[in-house]
Structure formats: C-alpha cells, structure tokens
Structure 1
C-alpha cells in the first residue's frame, strides 16, 4: 500500500490547525468550543468538551410566566407564553446531512470542522442540551385558511435559548422535528427528510436572495421511522425523521398575540407587546403612550415590503396563516412553498390548498387579512383614538405594497431615473401579462433580459440559449413592448453594459425550483447528500453563473418528469 506523503502532511497540518483553533478562542473567535481530550477508544471524530456555547433562556423566562403544568402531553394551555418541554432525541444512528458554513461562522462563532465531531450531531439535534438551555415550546393560536383554529403552538419545535455572538447579535436557536410538546395535537412531533431538506435549503437560499428570513444551521437525519400520508389520500408511508436547527432574532408571530386576546389574557398581551418592542423595535420609545400604534405602523410597512420581495423572486409561501407570519416581518415556517416557474398569478404550491387561497397572486391580500387580524388582537389595548389611527394606517397598506412592488420590478427591468409611475407601471404590467399569456418562465425571463443586449432586442435576434426570452418573443405584442422598453432605458443615459450588470445583480439565475429540491430529496433518502450540498453551494450565489450549476441544468427548462410534482402540508 502506497502512502501519499503530501496528503498525510496536509491532513496533519489541518488537524494541528484545528486543535489550535479549538484551544484558542482569542485567535479564532470561537466562543467556548475547546478540545479537552481525545478518547482513543472512540471514533476519531469524537471528543469531550469542558466548555461549549452557552445559551440563555433567562430573558424569556423572567419576562413571562411559564406553563404551570409539567409534561409533554397534549393539553389546552392557559396563562402563559411558553411551556417547558424537553426535546425527544432522534434514535441513532444520526447523520449530518449538511451544515451552513455562514451560519456557523458568522452567527454561532464556530469553525466548520467542529461539525466533524460526534457530539456536534447530538447538540444540534437535541440529543444533548447546550449549557444554559431550558427548552421551551411557544404557545400561540392562529387563523388557518381564513378561520380561527384556536390553540396551535410549537407542535414539533423546541426553543433552546438565546445566543449572543461576538458581534453582540442575539439569535434564538430552535430545533424543528425534535419531538412532542403540549401543542402537538395529534402529531408525533417529528419532521421528515423531504420537508427538512426543503426548509434547510430554502432558508439559506432566501437569505442569499436578500429576502428577510430565518436561517438554518444544520440538517441531521436518522433511521427512526416516521409514518406520513403525504397527500392525504390514505396511502401512509414510512419515512425517516430529521431535525433542522434554525435561528431567528425572534419567533414571535401574529398568532402569539391572537391567542392572548382570544383568551382574555390582556396583561400578558401587553407584556408580549412591550417585550417585542423593547427587544426588536428599539427606535420606538417604551414610554410613548402611542407605542403600540407606532409599532403596528412599522409592522404594516415591513410586511408589505416582505411580500413584495417574495413576489420579486417568484416565491409563494404556500401557507400564509397568521401563525406563520412573523411579528418581525421575516419569512418563517417553510412548509409547502414553491418558486413559480411559468408565470401564473394563480400558481399554488400547496396541493392541500384546494381553493387557492395562498396562490402567489393572492399573497398581498393575505398579508392584508393577517394584518387585520393583528389589529383585532391589538384592539383591547388601544383607546378609541388609537383604534381609528391604526385603521387609517392599515388603509395605506395597498399603496405601500404597490410602491415597493414597483420599485423592485423597475430594478429588475433596469429602469432608472424619475418617470411617471403610471408609465413604468404600465411597462411592468404589460410584460407580466405577456409572460402569463406565453407561460414564460418567471426567473429566467428576467435573468435573460439582463443578459441580452439592447441591439439583440431591437433586432429580435435572440439566441436559442435564451430559451425563456425567445419563447416570450413569440408573443404578438412583444415588438410593441420592446419599442416602449428600449427608449425608456435610453433615457437613463447609461451604457448597455452597465444596465446588464445592474440587472444581473437583482435577477437571480438560480432559485430552489421544486424539481431541484426533489432531486436532492430522492438522493438524501438514500443517504446521498451530495446534491443537498451542491444546491446549498449554488444557491449561496444565486446571481452568479456557475459551471456546476449549468452542468446540472439548474438554469434550463424544467425536466418533463417535474411537471407532476406535488407538495402538501404533510411533513
């Protein structure tokens, strides 16, 4: 057997550097992860630690009363915001399918090699608890598909605590798929591989698209059987359990307030509002008698902006219930989401949504409905003048949304300068109507408009490689639109190259299409996580053309087999 001396030398150097990093937080900025000793009788990836990242639940536990009843059994919970609820570890063997290098390094102050150790999988899946962690499950309610659903809560999620990183940023760490809680209802508290892969990938993909979102640190799978009926047709299947460790500045949502108002727990409602404002809306003065209305105005504005951003990248959330809408206006709870392919305002990513309530074209209206429910939850703590003021604020939501939508789509078309809003709005609407008629691919039509030259557009000489744009160019009104678009671009008095560069920075070439996720899921279910990691790498640079992505046809027309793909609420 030949020994590669160069390879051995490299591995020894890497190992020495890793040990140095673990023993020197001053050099590497790793907050507390130190190697104590290597137990030679265990796996080479196993280590004991005398110090690991410390979390804190003190702030939440001091701010709110906890559930007076112990135990993870399902029940109606009263007069609290959280219940103590330990995670139920997944059965071994566990496998680390993927980690987010950026989350580990930039948020958790860790170096990626730490994930090589066996204990990493235990801590990041709920098998072991971080020091300081008192796992909590959050009590909330919500309107689901337009109807009040009563108590919901974290049915399979455990808040491990807050982590304050070296930059002073505070993040809440939460496990999803980590077992039963008092809010599990008829569920088993587990998540399966297919939904966990999608959540892990999309959380990070949305971040790199510039859309406010929760983050995902790791994806861990097990051999534990989990039984699911994926499409609610009576065909129950055995799947595998998985856990995602996800992070957000806060997991409070509209339903967090609704449950308290509905239960008449107004003192607790004020406590939650005061906490959220003090911790996350620091520009609002805590002694301002109108602080709740000022806060509501901010949420209205930011929710409108968030949904406009969803639309600008063709993202449909799929389950826009009030329990899935963050009070911080970030994207949370990735269920049966979808990135629209052929432009269609009626696109519904969720096969459980029979009436199309959460179609992509309805998302702005869903946002308005949810904000109306938020205002209803606030009503008991507002006086009559404040109620009138808040109603007036809410009436401005459509204008806020439309203005932000138009700003984003003007940027997608490379439109600069001050023009009559109606003129640019017409140009955008004209294009979208043609795309709808032609079933043109949303992502690639805009991307290829950023790659085509003005001369090519003018002469209609669009190459076959620009498949989406070429398809659109067959529309009978395409020449008329081009004759409006090109003069509008020329009035900005910028070079065509500058226009293309600017547009490529806002029009992604790669998004997490359903077929791409499905391809990765099929491999992951057979213990091949290579495509999960490839997609993770590609989607971290969605605006940059990448050789491996092109080899995988990630910017090509979706394959024929993908046309029948379905995603439901079952996970």
Structure 2
C-alpha cells in the first residue's frame, strides 16, 4: 500500500470521460480530498450492465476494478471531492454533516446524455468525518448493492450500484469486520441538506448558485421562470411525493428519512437500515436507531412533507423579497405535497388491485377493506398482492386465499372485488392480470434472505447467496419457478426484526 492514492497514467486502459461540474462550483460547496489507499483490494462485484449504460470501458474496469473502485488508483480527469451539507437527523438540526466517508470521483455523461455522479463510499476520512474512520464494513456495502439494484429492477427511482470491493483491512464497529468500498452512481448527490448547509449560514448567494445549478442539471424546464426557486420547490415536492408512493407500493421502509437523505433529483438514496415489510402493518419499523418510530412505514408521507417544508425554509429569501409573501407561496407548495402524494398513492394502490377503469363509488371502501384485511390477518404484503394477481388471471381465489391465515374473511373481500371487476367487462384472465403483474412483484429483497447472504459473505467469504439473490431480484415481476423459495416469507425463527445503519 502506498502513502497516497496513485494517479493512473493518461494511457491507462480503463479510461473514464469525466466532466466534473460540481467541482467547478465555489470552494465552500465541498472539500477536495483523495481516497485513502487500502491494503489488498479485491473486486467482489462489478455491474457490467450499468457500466455499459454509463458508456464505460467495462472490460478494462473488470480487469483493473480492484484498484480503481477501492480508491487506490485515480483515473485521469477525476477531481475527487467530499460534498458539504447539513441536515435534520431524527428532527434535530446539525449545521454541518457532509460526506464523512464518501468521495465523489466525478461525473460522466451516459449513453442517454444524462449526467451521472460516480462516488466511492468507504474510501477513507474526509474533513467531514467527525472523528470517524471514513470506512465501510462489508455488510452494509453488500446490502446497499442488493437493495439499490433491486429498487432499480422494481422501476423505482434510485441510486445505483456500480461495484463492491473488499479492502483487505478490518474496520472496527462493535466488533472487527471486513472492510469494503462501494461505488455508487446517482443523477446527483445534492440533497435537501445541501441547501440547509448554506441557509444555516445565511449564505443567500451560494443558495442562489445551488438553485441555478440544480435547475440546469435536473429541471431545465424551469429555466427562465419568474420565480425559479419556488418552481424548484414545487418540482422537488412532486418528485418526492411520487417516489414515496412507489415505496409504499412495494412495502419499502427507508429507515432514515433525514433531510440529508432526501435527494433533490427524486432518487432513493442511502440504504442503511432500510427494509421491506413482510406482514402488513403501517407501524412497522426495522431500523435499530428509530426508537420512536418516526420513520415507520406509514409515517413516510408525513416525513416527506416535513422534509419539503425544511427545503422551503432554505429558499424563502429567493422566493419573494417580502418575507410574508415568501412564506405564503412556500406554504402553498408544501401543502400541495400531501395532495400529490395521495394522487400518486391512489393510482399505485388502484393499479395493484387491478382497478384499472375510472374510479367509482365504493372503490375507496374496497381499498380500505383490503388494507384492513391485510393488517388484521397479518398477511404477507407482497404475496397477498401477487396472489390476487394470480386470481385475476385464472378467475379462482385459491392463490389469493393462500396468503391469509383465515380464508373466510378474505373470501368475502375477494367476492366483492371480483364482482366489481367482472361487472366492468374487462377480461380478468389477461389484460387486468397483466397490468397487475407489472406492479406486484413476486420477489423483493426479503430481510431474512438479505441477512443470510451477508452472513455467508462476511463469515465465510462465500458470495454465492449474494450472487443468486441479485440474479433473482433483477427480474422481480417474472415467474421464476426454480427460485420460488425466494418469494416465501420468513418462517418462525427467521424473522429479521431490526436492521442496522452500519456506519
């Protein structure tokens, strides 16, 4: 291991066409810092498909990936920075957080012409590490790889996993653990907390620069509007409302919806103590650090609106010169968040239930009765919807009823649902079922299966379960008979009741 990260020569075969717009912003947006080399990096996983999407030389990266994705070697054109941001963490404001263990290597323009960040997580200390070691353990790295790629396959906006590398060095948390580095790809890493960083310092000029930057990068349709900051607030609220409705549709619980974990681009980010709900209960919490249930499954829309309100506060000086009018305009945007969420959630749940025609009287009661049935019988969220999809295809309730401990009450609901759908004349055996199948996955990252894969990798260096799980989850809506066990809920004693942040 060298004392400093080695700059790879210009003729290095693994070339990346970096174009680093964030590093051209004023110096107080970030700290320039290079990754700290590791002892013996080994490439665990490289996402070749994503690499091709980004226009990278995937053959060279597979060959040289251990050095590059560990941070031991920097490619030409990389301008590594740690980004500055603040944030509300469990409701408490921290004026300076920043990338304490993440380093943005740079940006690339992908094959669709979209600008994408490439970032290392666990690449060593930065000026924002707050006495931390800046490293990551293997378990959280593999978890983020699995869940972020599963979210992508589910069709939900998310950051992506490009690579995972072991470092050959331990990290020390409660115990000694194998170290790793994760390579994350994002539309950008600008967060609500990025705006809070400047607002907390009364720095209106840099807030204005950030607004312009975000509009140029993510919302070019807003350029030239009379009140761009207000338009940006409204646009971010709309994307977040849609995102959270999608989360709820697959039973996803983020676990740490702090303002520094809400992207301005509308992507899901930071998969620390996240989890997917097994049995349906809106109060479900997995995160070990969420002692009060602030980020429970059913609270996520309210927290989304709360976070948007915090974004609004940072933009007030730019929304209107008159403070009272700025507040009124911002409040309107914040209030609309919940209406937007409800619209998105209504579309999501109606599609999942196959209510594909125009909304009718009684539909809301049918939906409420279904969710109450899931809750009362502690039914598996994913399998109940998938069973209903099967019932729509063959016209019989058997697959649906198999998800319930007491089929009698479920049958009564099914008959009401069937009367509603058949009466509209839609072919229940094809069109409706096909639509439902496209939104009701057969496979999600089941918590017990994720933990089993992580344990095999951490304790035995066995990545076969990790590979198999990634493969199954890459096709979540497909029927995969050979992997039917991956769709089963945990048996008694297999339940995962807590997930951990891993930092």
CA distance, structure 2, for counterparts of residue 114 and residue 494 of structure 1:
52
Q: Which residue of 1 aligns with 2:6?
A: none
Match of residue 302 from structure 1: 239
Output the CA distance in 1 between the equivalents of 2:30 and 2:152: 28
Distance 1:432 1:496 in 2: 22
- Cα deviation, 1:223-260, whole Å, max 9, x if unaligned, reads 2110112xxxxxxx100111111111110000000110
Matched residues in 2 for 1:279 and 1:105: separation? 22
Classify 1:123/1:489 alpha carbon distance in 2 versus 1 (closer, same or farther; 3 Å): same
Looking at structure 1, the residues matched to 232 and 308 of structure 2 have their Cα atoms a distance apart, in angstroms, of 12
Equivalence for 1:524: 457
- Match in the other structure for 1:148: 93
Inter-CA distance 361–167: structure 2 relative to 1 (3 Å threshold): closer
CA distance in 2, matches of 1:177, 1:61: 20
Relative distance call for 1:168 and 1:210 in structure 2 (3 A) is: same
Aligned residue for 1:86, secondary structure, equals coil
Partner of 1:495 in structure 2?
A: 427
CA–CA distance in 2 between the matches of 1:554 and 1:245? 26
CA distance in 1, matches of 2:21, 2:393: 57
Equivalences, count: 490
Whole-angstrom distance in 1 between the partners of 2:258 and 2:91: 8
2:85 touches 2:98 (CA, 8 Å); kept in 1?
yes
Equivalent of 2:181 in 234, 240, 243: 243
Deviation at residue 58 of structure 1 after TM alignment: 4.2
Spell out, residue by residue over 1:446-498, the C-alpha distance to the aligned partner (whole angstroms, 9 max, x if none): 011111257764xx5x2xxx4x7324272553343223211221133222221
For 2:383, the equivalent position in structure 1 comes to 444
Whether 2:449 is the aligned partner of 1:544: answer no
Please say which structure displays the higher CA radius of gyration. Answer: 1
* SS of equivalent residue, structure 1 residue 534: helix
Post-superposition CA distance 1:149-205 (Å, at most 9, x none): 221110000000011234422211000111100111131101111111110111111
Give the Cα–Cα distance (whole angstroms) in 1 for the partners of residues 318 and 393 of structure 2.
Answer: 57
**Deviation, structure 1 residue 503:** 1.3
Structure 2 segments unaligned to the other structure (5+ residues): 1-8
Structure 2: how far apart are the matches of 1:434 and 1:382?
46
SS at match of 1:419: coil
- Pairing 1:208–2:153 present: yes
Secondary structure of 2:220's counterpart equals coil
**2:487 paired residue number:** 555
Report SS of the residue matched to 1:537.
helix
* Unaligned residue ranges in structure 1 (runs of 5+): 1-46, 67-79, 230-236
Equivalence for 1:398: 338
CA contact (8 A) 1:55 1:160 kept: no
Tell me, in whole angstroms, the C-alpha distance in 2 between the residues paired with 1:430 and 1:166: 46
Per-residue Cα deviation, 1:380-418 (whole angstroms, up to 9, x for no partner):
222133432221122122111111101011111111111
What CA deviation, in whole Å up to 9, does each residue of 1:95-138 have, x standing for no partner?
Answer: 22212222112124334x44542x22111221111111111000
Match of 1:24 in 2: none
Residues 48/253 of structure 1: CA separation in 2 closer, same or farther (3 Å cut): closer
Relative distance call for 1:58 and 1:518 in structure 2 (3 A) is closer
Change (3 A) 1:145 1:363: same
Of residues 26, 39, 47, the one that matches 1:65 is: 26
CA distance in 1, matches of 2:264, 2:184: 17
The equivalent position to 2:313 in structure 1, one of 376, 399, 411, is: 376
Q: CA contact under 8 A between 1:215 and 1:247: conserved in structure 2?
A: yes
1:124 and 1:245 in contact (8 A); partners too:
yes
1:56 maps onto 2:18 in alignment: yes
- In structure 2, distance between residues paired with 1:453 and 1:272: 49
SS of alignment partner, residue 242 of structure 1: strand
2:140, 2:501 within 8 Å by CA — same for their partners in 1? no
The corresponding residue for 1:477 is: 409
> Which shows bigger deviation, 137-146 or 162-171?
162-171
Asked if structure 1 preserves the Cα contact closer than 8 Å seen for 2:387 and 2:401, the reply is: yes
Equivalent residue in structure 1 for 2:221, among 264, 278, 283: 283
Name the counterpart of 1:71.
Answer: none
- State the SS of the aligned residue for 1:124: helix
How far apart, in 2, do the equivalents of 1:56 and 1:140 lie?
A: 23
Q: Could you say if the C-alpha distance between residues 410 and 564 of structure 1 is closer, same or farther in structure 2, counting changes exceeding 3 Å?
A: closer
